[in-house]
């Protein structure tokens, strides 16, 4: 196999591997695998100095078996047609795995956000929204973007603002994009959703006693060592939740280099150091590592690539010492590398499942926008009153009274963040066990990634059959 396999080809190789275990007509499988449409656009923007620059952008809609399509927008110099098509395909499979009723999409602009002022980025984002709008590539029931690499809730707020100025239907307009600031109809918990979902997925994988026995590790997160590549939104929150869950973060890697301390580093302090110095290097409680690539090869129990694709390849896979690789990023392990790691007994928790927390909570945000009501608003106070009544009755029976602080904790009704977190946790746990059950049904030749693709393909195929498109 050539090391020059494209990202789309990597995804399709994983699809084809899973399709061998599924008895569906070849035409149906081809329809599921094929990207329905990809659009390239270019447009000029005026920079702060008065010069004009032409920006290139893309939007891919991989599957319309469910509507709307859904997928992030990334700002990166690596963005091209191959990347957005591959990521759109992964989004299709991801949504199916976690039972989110969207087709997959993805978009991006070939820019480095760090090279533009906020005013320039606002103009670029608004113009990109216009380009999507005139091509019918954005709308609450059509295609709903979200943040991705190089973008955040700020850019999603700009997209909403631009879309509002263009759309005639004002009732459902806020559902045109997710990952928005809470003050602009966003949802609590969306910013940390992908990282929290990665945490739930890793925690569930580490609870599998038989798998941990094969790795010669005790079950659970407690004491497990972790290296995280990427300290962006996903990497930071993943590291934070893993640390809070009992794991020890021994290394952090970023584009400027990496740091390492076998006894562990405090993720909040590392982030504060980076804010102050613009770098994770020279962190007082850790030693510098020469490069990100070198950090991937350091000893640890769990390696979390949370940056970009193609980070672990045939060239470095044999030197990776981690026993578990948790794909927080999309496509960080190539197909060649996966075979090498599988032969070493490494468990890979696949991206198509593991980083689905973002789209899951985006789904909750979309529902909130369509319903025009905050989660928890209708029932929170009622639940508190019922539980307060039960507690009062128990206190009368036992003739004992709880301290006020404990009483408040026990009788607290679920607010929006509680409900979002609970829904995300249930989604990730349920999906993991579905994948594991599928893996068990097919035997040792099927790893977690192949099992996840089998789950996705079967669900999508059933949707097409229900639509009556295939006999």
Query: Collapsing DSSP states into helix, strand and coil, what is residue 99?
Result: coil
* Measured CA distances, 173 to 142, 158, 187, 268, 284 (Å): 12, 13, 15, 37, 48
Tell me if the bond preceding 68 is cis, omega within 30° of 0.
Answer: yes
pLDDT averaged over 10-residue windows placed end to end, the chain, 471 residues: 74 94 92 96 96 97 96 95 96 97 97 95 98 97 94 97 91 95 95 96 96 94 95 94 96 92 94 92 90 91 91 93 95 91 94 96 96 82 74 76 75 82 96 96 91 97 83 59
Residue 120 and residue 221 in one domain: no
Distances in Å between the Cα of 367 and the Cα atoms of 63, 96, 99, 224 are: 21, 17, 14, 37
Which residue reads 């995300």 in tokens?
Answer: 424
Which residue is catalytic, options 106, 180, 323, 436? 106
User: Could you tell me if residue 41 is inside a domain?
Assistant: yes
Q: Are residues 91 and 226 part of one domain?
A: no
368 belongs to the catalytic site: no
Q: Which of 344, 372, 395 is a domain's end point? A: 344
What are the tens digits of pLDDT across the range 162-213?
Answer: 999 999 878 899 999 999 999 999 999 999 999 999 999 999 999 999 999 9
Same domain, 180 and 307: no
Type and span of the H or E element at 270: helix 267-277
Q: Do residues 255 and 338 both lie within one domain?
A: yes
- Same domain, residue pair 169 and 227: no
Residue where one domain finishes, among candidates 344, 379, 413 = 344
Report the domain count for the chain: 2
Packed helices 448-467 and 416-442: angle between N→C axes, nearest 10 degrees: 100
Say if residue 44 is in the same domain as residue 178.
yes
CATH number at residue 256: 3.40.50.720
Whether 222 and 177 map to the same domain: the answer is no
| Rg of the chain on CA atoms, in Å | 23
Q: Do 232 and 336 sit in the same domain of this protein? A: yes
Tell me the pairing of strands 37-46 and 69-75.
unpaired
261 and 310 in a single domain? The answer is yes
Instruction: Give 248's strand partners.
Output: 225
pLDDT value for 344: 93
The predicted pLDDT at position 471 comes to 59
Tell me, yes or no, whether 144 lies in a domain. Answer: yes
Q: Kindly report each contact of residues 205-214 with a partner whose C-beta sits within 8 Å and lies 24 or more positions away, as own/partner.
A: 205/324, 205/326, 205/347, 205/349, 205/432, 206/302, 206/324, 208/436, 211/347, 214/345
The pLDDT value given to residue 322: 96
Q: Tell whether 270 and 147 lie within a shared domain.
A: no
| Range of the structural domain that residue 56 is part of | 7-184
Q: Which is it for the CA torsion 385, 391, 394, 400, positive or negative?
A: negative
CA angle 232, 147, 294 (to 5 degrees): 30
Tokens 């702060």 label which residue?
Answer: 48
The domain boundary, picked from 326, 344, 362, lies at 344
436: Cβ–Cβ under 8 A, 6 or more apart, which residues?
208, 448, 451
- 398 found inside a domain: no
**Residue 21 belongs to domain with CATH number:** 3.40.50.10860
Question: What is the tens place of the pLDDT at every residue in 20-37?
Answer: 999 999 999 999 999 999
Bridge partner list, 99:
none
Q: Do 24 and 153 lie in a common domain?
A: yes
Q: Does a structural domain hold residue 295?
A: yes
- Are 139 and 282 contained in the same domain? no
């Amino acid at each position: 196999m050539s090391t020059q396999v494209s990202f789309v080809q990597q995804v399709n190789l994983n699809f084809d591997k899973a399709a061998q275990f599924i008895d569906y007509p070849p035409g149906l499988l081809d329809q599921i695998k094929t990207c329905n449409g990809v659009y390239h656009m270019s447009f000029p923007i005026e920079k702060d100095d008065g010069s004009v620059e032409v920006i290139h952008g893309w939007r891919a809609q991989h599957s319309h078996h469910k509507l709307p399509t859904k997928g992030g927008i990334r700002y990166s110099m690596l963005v091209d047609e191959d990347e957005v098509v591959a990521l759109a395909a992964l989004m299709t499979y991801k949504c199916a795995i976690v039972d989110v009723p969207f087709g997959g999409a993805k978009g991006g602009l070939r820019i480095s956000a760090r090279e533009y002022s906020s005013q320039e980025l606002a103009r670029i984002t608004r113009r990109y929204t216009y380009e999507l709008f005139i091509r019918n590539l954005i709308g609450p029931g059509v295609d709903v973007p979200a943040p991705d690499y190089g973008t955040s809730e700020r850019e999603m707020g700009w997209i909403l603002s631009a879309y509002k100025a263009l759309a005639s239907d004002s009732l459902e307009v806020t559902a045109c994009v997710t990952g928005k600031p809470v003050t602009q109809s966003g949802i609590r918990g969306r910013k940390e959703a992908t990282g929290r979902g990665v945490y739930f997925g890793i925690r569930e994988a580490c609870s599998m006693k038989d798998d941990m026995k094969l790795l010669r590790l005790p079950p659970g997160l407690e004491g497990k060592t972790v290296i995280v590549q990427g300290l962006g939104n996903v990497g930071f929150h993943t590291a934070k939740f893993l640390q809070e869950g009992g794991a020890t973060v021994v290394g952090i890697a970023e584009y400027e280099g990496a740091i390492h301390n076998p006894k562990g580093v405090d993720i909040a302090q590392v982030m504060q150091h980076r804010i102050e110095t613009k770098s994770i290097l020279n962190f007082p409680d850790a030693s510098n590592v020469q490069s990100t690539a070198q950090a991937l090869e350091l000893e640890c129990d769990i390696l979390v690539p949370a940056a970009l694709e193609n980070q672990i390849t045939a060239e470095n896979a044999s030197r990776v010492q981690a026993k578990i690789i948790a794909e927080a990023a999309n496509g960080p392990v190539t197909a060649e590398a996966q075979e090498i790691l599988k032969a070493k007994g490494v468990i890979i928790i696949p991206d198509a499942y593991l980083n689905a927390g973002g789209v899951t909570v985006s789904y909750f945000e979309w529902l909130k926008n369509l319903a025009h009501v905050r989660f928890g608003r209708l029932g929170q106070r009622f639940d508190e009153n019922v539980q307060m009544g039960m507690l009062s009755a128990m206190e009368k029976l036992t003739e004992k009274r709880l301290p006020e602080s404990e009483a408040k904790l026990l009788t607290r009704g679920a607010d929006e963040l509680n409900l979002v977190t609970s829904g995300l946790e249930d989604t990730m746990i349920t999906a993991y066990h579905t994948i594991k059950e599928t893996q068990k049904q097919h035997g040792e030749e099927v790893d977690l990634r192949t099992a996840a693709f089998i789950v996705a393909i079967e669900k999508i195929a059933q949707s097409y059959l229900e639509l009556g498109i295939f006999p």
